[in-house]
Amino acid sequence: MQTSSPLVDDAHVMEKRDSLLLLALAGAGAYGVFTHWDTIREKLGVEDFYPGRLKAIQLAKNAYNWAPPTPNWIVLRDREKNGDITLAKDAWHATEIKDPKFRVTCTWTESGERHMHVFAVDIGFSSVVYEGEAEIPPAAPASPR
């Protein structure tokens, strides 16, 4: 014969306890994300998914600056395939100057030397102006841990 206390339903108490624990963990996780959002956004590159940045990079890739009538991305692809250059892991970057204008850069290594080329892109007019090669800023010193 099984007896149970009318005040405590073990299965129901466990469900409430689990729910409260999960709610507390979710709240703590959300607070952690909220307080460290700037670092998370920088590490994950979330800002790169902004449609304006993507459009600016795409316009610069499809421009005919280096070897008309061949788009820039094909010129880079062919030069890398031939072994002339080594593209950086994330070669294309866009920085918003003033909406809808962006500064797009493309970085690669040629003969052991890094090169960065700059484009001024206006996504409002779909215009790309090649500004030439820019000086690459020195790498920041590694922080001691």
Residues 9-22: tens digit of each pLDDT: 565 666 888 888 88
Whether residues 72 and 127 share a domain: the answer is yes
Does residue 1 lie in a domain region?
Answer: no
Same domain, 58 and 108: yes
pLDDT digits (tens, 9 = 90+) for 63-103: 999 999 999 999 999 999 999 999 988 899 999 898 899 99
Tell me the average pLDDT of the chain: 84
Same domain, 79 and 122: yes
Could you tell me if residue 144 is inside a domain?
Answer: no
Q: Say if residue 56 is in the same domain as residue 125.
A: yes
Task: State the Cα angle at 94 between 110 and 72, rounded to 5°.
Answer: 50
The predicted structure's pLDDT at residue 119: 97
The stretch 113-140 carries a mean pLDDT of: 89
Q: What is the pLDDT of residues 25-65, one digit of tens each?
A: 999 989 988 898 888 777 776 666 678 889 999 999 999 99
Which positions ≥6 away from 87 have C-beta within 8 Å? 76, 80, 107, 108
Domain membership of residue 3 (yes or no) is no
Quick check: is 145 in a domain? no
Q: Name the β-bridge partners of 87.
A: 108
How many separate domains does the chain show? 2
pTM (2 d.p.): 0.65
As a whole number of angstroms, the distance between CA 14 and CA 76 comes to 61
Q: Answer yes or no: is 2 within a domain.
A: no
Same domain, 64 and 99: yes
What pLDDT, in 10s, does the model give residues 123-134?
Answer: 999 999 999 999
Domain that holds residue 89: 47-134
122 and 57 in a single domain? The answer is yes
